Amino acid sequence: QVQVVESGGGLVQPGGSLRLSCAASGSFFSFYTMGWSRQAPGKQRELVARITSSSNTNYADSVKGRFTISRDNAKKTVYLQMNSLKPEDTAVYYCNAERGSYYTWGQGTQVTVSS
């Protein structure tokens, strides 16, 4: 089973870009569906992007065309490239890993979009 650790968050101005990374440890990383979720203060956690073991992707409507999820199985890492960031993208971003009945997530990384 994998464990995940996120990095790459920070403060960025509206219209800017950030790339989040999720490093996984454990075996059979390539078999896992990986995803990014986010939770803003006072709001429920929402799935932002997801990538399957065969690299099929899907995105929340709110980030389509702006965010790109990708994976590097050799490095056991998943990325979330975030462009054209908006203040409403401000949230704690969590990396998720799932396979069968197993589901885990990391401690999160804060993304703040503000001028």
Reported as a single tens digit per residue, the pLDDT across 77-103 is 999 999 999 999 999 999 999 999 999
Q: Is 40 exposed, middle or buried (0-12, 13-18, 19+ CB in 10 A)?
A: middle
Mean pLDDT of the chain: 96
Reported as a single tens digit per residue, the pLDDT across 38-81 is 999 999 999 999 999 999 999 999 999 999 999 999 999 999 99
Q: Is 68 exposed, middle or buried (0-12, 13-18, 19+ CB in 10 A)?
A: middle
Distance separating alpha carbons of residues 69 and 1, to the nearest angstrom: 21
Question: What's the token pair of residue 102?
Answer: 């197993």
Say what the pLDDT of residue 113 is. 97
pLDDT band at 109 (very low <50, low <70, confident <90, very high): very high
Mean of pLDDT values over 16-43: 96
Q: What percent of the chain has pLDDT over 70?
A: 100
Mean of pLDDT values over 33-40: 98
| Number of C-beta neighbours around residue 56 at 10 A | 9
